[in-house]
Amino acid sequence: MNITLSPLGNLDWTNNSDLVILEFELIAEKDYHLSLDYSKGLHAWFLDQVRQLSPELSKRLHDYPEEKAFSISRLEGNLIALKNKIFVKQNSFYSWYLSIFSCELIQWLKEWFNNFPSHLALYHTPLLINEVRFFSPPTTYEKLWQENIETNFCFTFLSPTSFRRNNHHYPLPHPPNLFHSYLRRWNQFSHKVFSQDDFGDWIDKFVIIRGYCLESKKVAGGKKGSVTGFMGWLELSLGHNYQDYPDFTQLYSTLCRFATYCGTGHKTTFGLGHTILSKGNENTDEGRQQIFTQASNYNNDCLEDKLVTRIDELTGIFLKQKNGKGGNRAENVCLSYANILARRELGMALKDISIELEMPYETVKTYSKRAKKLLINGS
């Protein structure tokens, strides 16, 4: 259901709503190039929009994970990799999704639409906001809870999705991990709280994976290196005797629908874990294959693959020279060296790298020189 909104209209529809997903239709008015880790720019732009109306709320969204009642997608559209840069083409259309799932942010949203910007500014790339629609109708946590119970759901993960496990990325859709991710956010913002441990045990016992088509994908993850995630579709159902636990059955069905709002896994505020539910004729072999192709192409530009591969190579070279000395600090420094040098090799300016990695310019300049020397010594 797509309902066209006027950027300058009021948001009366949000007065009693807790959750909303907005779809932005964007136009490139000129040929522009994007930063390789441009999703950080989407994140920064949104927080800056919040800051202009509510500095205190913006600070909480930035500093405290439990306050992050929003998720974003990456850009959908014709992103072109050419001459070591990612381009958006003049007069091309792009889509971007913003999901909000707390009353406080909804109230900010209403005020924002009375002061709505004309462009979404990504560093050097201002994209014209041509139209904003509801991707799904605004709703409340209570309405989501009251919807009819369903047992079969097909998830589509449109951007790389992973979880944190023992300080590493875990790029598999293990059901307890999926629903731990959803329930954590549900408990924080719905005020209808359930035990993570008890529900996790129930999920592990009753949720069945009926089918999947997934592939792994690495993306640049800022100064912490790359993130390995999964993309594609996954079908879940419930096993025998689930009816003996009506509250958990209701929660399972509700959280499956909630996934489209909160996203899946970690870094959802940076465009990872973008999740939708398949419906109707999409739940066929042909429909699922189309969805998988869409997911595979969603962020499948060769430049980002090239960047991630080179970061991994350089990190290995630098760590080898450290011979295991220096512990975590040495590892983090090597990651920073690799991130900076890999971007320099792709032709990025130091100033742009500084912005993209959120590091002081002088630090980036110094690290770039040190990284080049280490690379020569390791050759």
pLDDT at 374: 87
Q: Which two tokens stand for residue 288?
A: 């699922």
> Which H/E stretch holds residue 342?
helix 327-345
**3-state SS class at 232:** strand
CATH 3.30.70.1890 fits 13-139, yes or no: yes
CATH topology of domain 141-300: Alpha-Beta Plaits (3.30.70)
Beta carbons of 260 and 136 less than 8 angstroms apart: yes
Nearby residues of 42 by Cβ (< 8 Å), 6 or more positions away = 72, 74, 75, 96, 120, 122, 270, 271
* Cα distance between residue 37 and residue 35, in whole Å: 5
* Core vs surface per residue 74-100: b (16+ CB within 10 A) or e: bbbbebbbeeebbbbeeebbbebbbbb
pLDDT at 85: 72
Beta carbons of 154 and 146 less than 8 angstroms apart: no
Which backbone phi and psi does 116 adopt, to 5 degrees?
-75, 135
For the chain, domain boundaries: 13-139, 141-300, 303-378
In the chain, DSSP finds a helix count (H) and a strand count (E) of 12, 16
Which backbone phi and psi does 264 adopt, to 5 degrees?
-125, 135
pLDDT at 308: 82
pLDDT at 98: 96
pLDDT along the chain (379 residues), means of 10: 45 74 94 83 94 93 86 90 78 94 91 90 89 88 95 94 85 95 95 94 96 88 74 94 93 97 94 83 55 49 73 87 75 88 85 83 92 81
